[in-house]
């Protein structure tokens, strides 16, 4: 999932999800925007010291290439090469790369899974100015993943990351109010405000959630037009749950032909990616729908490509 142009790696370690709203978030990859430092890395963690600005371009270039090879976003996927480049970028002091190394340990990619080592990398990245690393560290501490559970400290770091303007952090902050996580009381209006800020900053998860909150009147008045706007925005960008949510919000069983075709289109796009709710709905409904509508929806679904 691609976020905004200033982000690195994000791992949100939790297991709750909102019905029709938020999928479990595993990894978000974007672009770095932090100052340059050096890092002497070891198998279980990283240590950093300042280096000359001349190293900045090389460190950033290695980070970009590592990110691309890890995700396959440019058509080539090579995790083994990705971790080498990420470590080299971390050694040159790129804070987001230092935190990015934590991803490999947290997920067990090319190294044995080691949450404690992951937390070490997140902590070092956060100390050197990576806000994404601070968010990952916050969620690890709050959930007790690879470190002793400390909800108060985790929540403090999470709020700092959100205050720094990181869209994923604002979205995660919204979830703490939505669910009543980490000692917070459920507060839908405050959750709505967090998701609105994150959505406006381009976070697709928040856009999806915001659409549902408008649709259901959670923390705000019901507003179908706003619900469609935010769900469609996330769906067009490739957000799987938003695609399914948009289909059901449009109404797969609506009697209006064009609207039903659009609902079918988005359900097909989601089902093509094995989204369970969309797949089940289509299996139940398609046999009873006009074949020409199904064919038109299929044609439009086949033409879909995610927006940047």
Tokens at 235, concatenated: 């769906």
Question: In sequence order, what are the beta bridge partners of 48?
Answer: 39
Res. 33: pLDDT tops 90? no
pLDDT recorded at residue 23: 27
DSSP annotation of 25 reads: P
Structure confidence by residue, pLDDT tens digits, 133-166? 999 999 999 999 999 999 999 999 999 999 999 9
Structure confidence by residue, pLDDT tens digits, 52-100? 555 788 999 999 999 999 988 888 999 999 999 999 999 999 999 999 9
Indicate the domain borders of the chain: 9-149, 243-302
* Global model pTM greater than 0.85: no
Res. 2: pLDDT tops 50? no
DSSP annotation of 146 reads: S
Q: Where are the alpha helices (DSSP H) in the chain?
A: 55-71, 79-91, 95-107, 115-127, 131-143, 151-163, 167-179, 188-200, 204-216, 224-236, 240-250, 257-271, 276-285, 291-302
| Share above pLDDT 70 across residues of the chain, in percent, rounded to a whole number | 82
Query: Could you give the CA distance from residue 265 to residue 133 in angstroms, rounded to a whole number?
Result: 38
Query: Could you give the CA distance from residue 210 to residue 300 in angstroms, rounded to a whole number?
Result: 26
CATH architecture of 9-149: Alpha Horseshoe (1.25)
């Amino acid at each position: 999932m691609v976020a905004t142009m200033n982000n690195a790696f994000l791992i949100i370690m939790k297991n709750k999800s909102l019905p029709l709203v938020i999928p479990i978030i595993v990894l978000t990859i974007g672009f770095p925007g932090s100052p340059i430092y050096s890092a002497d890395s070891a198998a279980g963690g990283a240590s950093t010291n300042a280096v000359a600005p001349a190293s900045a371009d090389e460190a950033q270039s290695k980070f970009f290439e590592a990110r691309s090879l890890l995700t396959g976003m440019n058509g080539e996927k090579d995790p083994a090469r990705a971790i080498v480049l990420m470590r080299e970028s971390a050694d040159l002091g790129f804070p987001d790369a230092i935190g990015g190394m934590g991803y490999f340990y947290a997920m067990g990619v090319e190294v044995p899974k080691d949450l404690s080592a992951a937390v070490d990398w997140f902590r070092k990245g956060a100390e050197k100015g990576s806000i994404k690393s601070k968010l990952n560290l916050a969620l690890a501490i709050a959930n007790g993943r690879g470190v002793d559970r400390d909800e108060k400290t985790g929540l403090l770091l999470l709020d700092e990351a959100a205050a720094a303007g990181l869209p994923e952090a604002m979205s995660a902050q919204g979830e703490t109010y939505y669910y009543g996580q980490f000692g917070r009381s459920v507060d839908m209006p405050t959750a709505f405000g967090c998701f609105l800020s994150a959505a406006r900053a381009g976070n697709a998860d928040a856009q999806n959630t915001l659409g549902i909150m408008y649709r259901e009147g959670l923390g705000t008045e019901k507003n179908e037009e706003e619900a469609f706007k935010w769900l469609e925005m996330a769906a067009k960008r490739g957000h799987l749950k938003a695609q399914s949510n948009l289909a059901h919000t449009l109404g797969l069983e609506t009697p209006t032909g064009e609207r039903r075709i659009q609902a079918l289109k988005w359900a097909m796009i989601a089902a093509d990616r094995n989204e369970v709710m969309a797949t089940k709905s289509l299996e139940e409904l398609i046999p009873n729908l006009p074949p020409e509508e199904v064919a038109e929806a299929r044609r439009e679904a086949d033409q879909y490509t995610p927006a940047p």
